[in-house]
Amino acid sequence: MSMAQQAEPAVGRPPASGPKPTDGRTARRPPALRLLARPEVGVFLGAVAVLVFFLITAPPVRDGSSMANILYQSSTIGIMALPVALLMIGGEFDLSSGVAVISSALTASMLSYQLTVNVWTGVVVALIVSLAIGAFNGWMVMKTGLPSFLVTLGTFLILQGANLAVTKLVTGNVATDDISDMDGFDQARKIFASSFDVGGVQVKITVLWWLVFAALATWVLLRTKYGNWIFAVGGDKDSARAVGVPVRFTKITLFMLVGFGAWFVGMHNLFSFNTVQSGEGVGQELIYIAAAVIGGCLLTGGYGSAIGPVFGAFMFGMVQQGIVYAGWNPDWFKAFLGVMLLGAVLINLWVQRTATRR
């Protein structure tokens, strides 16, 4: 106890920064290994494997128009999988995303038809409604601190019920009326549901939108302040708040982004089929979540990419259509899906352990 008085601190002056010394304890890992640790590489290899598999087993897949069809199928999943993935990186779930797509389409369709206004009015109102649903989800989760699983399960049930009930109330039917002869329909169809020609093959415009959104999401995630915040609020919400990240703003806007995605896909459905079945959309939310997880997003948040879910959605589209082209029973699709999901989760687990190994 008498070592007390000589305990003056030894103040180390910062070492002169000359030629940079290295720590030397972290051996540089081979580039191949570092590449493998990226969240999207596993799913990329998976997507290639699935593609090669079906190219061999199902000859019709080799045709250009089938490939366009597969890409189209993938894009309708992929456009939603993107915001769902960002939300998941941000540490939250949205189970209502599947039925929210239908809610948005129903809103636009019924509003335009019942009030006999230009369809663009319906489109804009649907956007507002979709963003409001997202904002409500986010606000509830942040305000109550309840798990987003519970809150959005509630929203899911509310929307599912409301979709059916309101549609029956307004139209007396489970589907909305055909709006294809209304003002502005052709214009809106051009944006949401047209096709363009690539070397003699008709490609749906959603494929283009899908890639544009994916590029945008990647840029935001990796190159902007907001993207940094997404990783932070998903990785450690309390730490993020303590260093000044606006956690509530970030999470609520992420939920609203899912709303935006639901609106976009909803509009596509409406303008490509002219009418909306009010009971659809149930179960789709799990497909989106699965695509995000297969795409390397960590279910618990804080890790993932925007490009991974693109490959994840492509795998889904590929399997879904590939089974048909191969002439197999399409019932197998869900079984394939399950196997893919489990495989992806195992890879994620391994990556997370590797990344945080002391």
Partner 1 sequence: MTDNTTGTHGAVLQDSAPAPDGPLVELRGAGKSYGNIRALHGVDLKVHAGRVTCVLGDNGAGKSTLIKIISGLHQHTEGEFLVDAQPVRFTTPREALDRGIATVYQDLATVPLMPVWRNFFLGSELTKGPWPLRRLDIARMKETADQELRHMGIVLDDLEQPIGTLSGGQRQCVAIARAVHFGARVLILDEPTAALGVKQSGVVLKYIAAARDRGLGVIFITHNPHHAYMVGDHFSVLRLGTLELSAERSGIGLEELTNHMAGGAELAALKHELAQVRGVDVEELPEEGDLSAPVATSPEGTP
Contacts of 274 (CB under 8 A, 6+ apart): 178, 179, 180
Closer to partner 1 by Cβ: residue 168 or 223: 223
Minimum Å gap between C-beta 251 and partner 1 is: 13
Report the DSSP beta bridge partners of residue 203.
Answer: 196
Minimum Å gap between C-beta 88 and partner 1 is: 13
Closer to partner 1 by Cβ: residue 25 or 116: 25
Closer to partner 1 by Cβ: residue 244 or 327: 244
Minimum Å gap between C-beta 229 and partner 1 is: 8
Minimum Å gap between C-beta 227 and partner 1 is: 8
Q: Identify the three-state secondary structure at position 203.
A: strand
Distance, in Å, from the CA atom of 294 to the CA atom of 47, rounded to the nearest integer, reads: 10
Minimum Å gap between C-beta 263 and partner 1 is: 21
- Per-position DSSP letters for 39-79, written without gaps between them: TTHHHHHHHHHHHHHHHHH-GGGGSHHHHHHHHHHHHHHHH
Residues that bind partner 1 (CB under 8 A): 1-5, 7, 9-15, 17, 20-26, 28, 219, 223-225, 227-228, 231-232, 235-236, 238-246, 249, 298, 302-303, 352, 355-358
Q: Identify the three-state secondary structure at position 175.
A: strand
Closer to partner 1 by Cβ: residue 8 or 181: 8
* 53: nearest Cα among 282, 256, 323: 323
Minimum Å gap between C-beta 260 and partner 1 is: 17
- Measured from the Cβ of residue 118, the count of other Cβ atoms closer than 10 Å reads 16
CA angle 54, 309, 146 (to 5 degrees): 135
Closer to partner 1 by Cβ: residue 21 or 327: 21
Closer to partner 1 by Cβ: residue 146 or 242: 242
Contacts of 59 (CB under 8 A, 6+ apart): none
Distance, in Å, from the CA atom of 114 to the CA atom of 166, rounded to the nearest integer, reads: 13
Minimum Å gap between C-beta 305 and partner 1 is: 13
Q: Identify the three-state secondary structure at position 260.
A: helix
Distance, in Å, from the CA atom of 223 to the CA atom of 162, rounded to the nearest integer, reads: 39
Closer to partner 1 by Cβ: residue 176 or 305: 305
User: Are the beta carbons of 239 and 232 closer than 8 angstroms?
Assistant: yes
Minimum Å gap between C-beta 2 and partner 1 is: 8
Dig out the tokens for 232 from the structure: 């932070």
Closer to partner 1 by Cβ: residue 169 or 242: 242
